[in-house]
């Protein structure tokens, strides 16, 4: 089984520990995406799996073999970096074949693998070209093809699309999704800061913060049922709206009083001991709707209107006195700055977090 197992993995630079006891099991054939803010340790963790960073503590297994002290070339992995790292004087064919030539593969085997990878990535017409004659997206596909040719047990991607413009990112993301489908037994681990990449490519997402795992789950699980306030705010764009609140009633559902005076009933259970405690009430911008009658969640003055065509973003002031609440409403709205509007939401879409930031759903 060509999976990856991390047990209490730690990384320290001198006395400063940056990876704090990571436990994670990645199954064979799984596409796992590491996400988190800058400096959270996602690229460091990927480089430790690759063997490019040493492991301070814990045990790492790839395909059931302990690889803590195994050099990168012997781990059965292939890595695609942010930069293409192609040899400018070599053709596409030679760039893709280079690693196999170093490994002294036969000429026939090299040719078979290069042409098979070129077909998968639609690079067959470009095999005789130099990298300078290719677009950025094509160069990145050559870098991916070079990795495919090594026939690895595990693919590692370190923000491979971040150097591409928006249109090329979309096209290359689709190519990676197709690659994943065409290689169902190959494990893939992908680092990105782009939520669209994470949500569309991943079987499971690993959310990291300050060298620790905050939550692991399927994309929609993290979106709909975040374990804590950090995950709730990190997954989704724009971020979840969070309003300070106080718990006023407990039981099978929880009633809270929002900062601003409105009471809201959230269909999540809580213990009697929570009554009177502070909480954080959350609702996603896309779950807010414009309220027509008296049954509304909150009201506020519109400070900014961003008309994006398919949606309109409304920034609502005057509720918490802090950062504005954002409503993401489908379509084009005839709304002007300064208007006062009321908003509601499906109670099932509401979230509540305790003083430690933990979701009341868990």
Domains (range + CATH), the chain: 4-233 (3.40.50.300), 234-353 (2.40.50.140)
Quickly list H helices, 183-278: 195-201, 219-224, 229-234
Tell me what pLDDT residue 323 has.
81
- Closest by Cα among 62, 51, 56 to 5: 62
Tell me what pLDDT residue 127 has.
94
Give the integer Cα–Cα distance in Å for 159 and 34: 10
Q: What is the DSSP letter of 235?
A: S
Provide φ and ψ at 128, rounded to 5°: -95, 0
**Contact by Cβ (8 Å): 296, 344:** yes
**Contact by Cβ (8 Å): 303, 287:** no
As given in the structure block, the two tokens for residue 228 are 């804590």
The tens-digit pLDDT sequence of the chain (362 residues) is: 578 999 999 999 999 999 999 999 999 999 999 999 999 999 999 999 999 999 999 999 998 899 999 999 889 898 888 777 889 999 999 999 998 888 888 999 999 999 988 988 889 999 999 999 998 888 888 988 888 888 888 999 998 888 778 887 888 888 888 888 888 888 999 999 888 899 999 999 999 999 999 999 999 999 999 999 999 999 998 999 999 999 999 988 999 998 766 888 999 998 888 898 999 999 999 999 999 877 888 888 999 999 999 999 999 986 666 789 999 999 999 898 999 999 999 999 999 999 999 999 76
Tell me what pLDDT residue 114 has.
92
Specify the pTM: 0.90
Tell me what pLDDT residue 1 has.
55
> Three-state SS for 142?
helix
Give the residue carrying structure tokens 């681990």: 189
Tell me what pLDDT residue 102 has.
85
Give the integer Cα–Cα distance in Å for 252 and 210: 34
């Amino acid at each position: 089984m060509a999976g990856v197992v991390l047990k209490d993995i730690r990384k320290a630079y001198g006395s400063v520990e940056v990876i704090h006891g990571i436990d994670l099991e990645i199954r064979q054939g799984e596409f796992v995406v590491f996400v988190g803010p800058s400096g959270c340790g996602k690229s460091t963790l990927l480089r430790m799996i690759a063997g490019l960073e040493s492991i301070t503590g814990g045990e790492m297994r790839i395909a059931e073999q302990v690889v803590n002290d195994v050099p990168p070339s012997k781990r059965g992995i292939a890595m695609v970096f942010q930069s293409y790292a192609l040899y400018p004087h070599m053709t596409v064919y030679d760039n893709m074949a280079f690693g196999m030539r170093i490994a002294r593969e036969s000429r026939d085997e090299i040719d078979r693998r290069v042409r098979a990878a070129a077909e998968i990535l639609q690079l067959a017409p470009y095999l005789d070209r130099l990298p300078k004659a290719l677009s950025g997206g094509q160069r990145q596909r050559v870098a991916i093809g070079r990795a495919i040719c090594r026939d690895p047990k595990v693919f590692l991607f370190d923000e491979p699309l971040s150097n591409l413009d928006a249109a090329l990112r979309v096209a290359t993301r689709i190519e990676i999704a197709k690659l994943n489908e065409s290689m169902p037994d190959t494990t893939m681990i992908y680092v990105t800061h782009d939520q669209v990449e994470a949500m569309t490519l991943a079987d499971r997402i690993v959310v990291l913060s300050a060298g620790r795992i905050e939550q692991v789950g399927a994309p929609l699980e993290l979106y709909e049922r975040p374990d804590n306030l950090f995950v709730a705010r990190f997954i989704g764009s724009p971020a979840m709206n969070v309003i300070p609140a106080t718990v006023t009633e407990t039981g099978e559902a929880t009633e809270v009083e929002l900062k601003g005076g409105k009471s809201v009933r959230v269909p999540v259970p809580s213990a009697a001991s929570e009554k009177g405690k502070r909480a954080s009430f959350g609702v996603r911008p896309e779950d807010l709707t414009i309220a027509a009658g008296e049954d509304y969640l909150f009201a506020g003055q519109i400070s900014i209107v961003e008309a994006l065509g398919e949606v309109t973003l409304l920034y609502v002031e005057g509720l918490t006195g802090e950062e504005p609440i954002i409503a993401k409403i489908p379509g084009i709205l005839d709304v002007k700055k300064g208007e006062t509007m009321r908003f509601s939401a499906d109670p099932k879409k509401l979230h509540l977090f305790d003083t430690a930031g933990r979701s009341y759903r868990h």
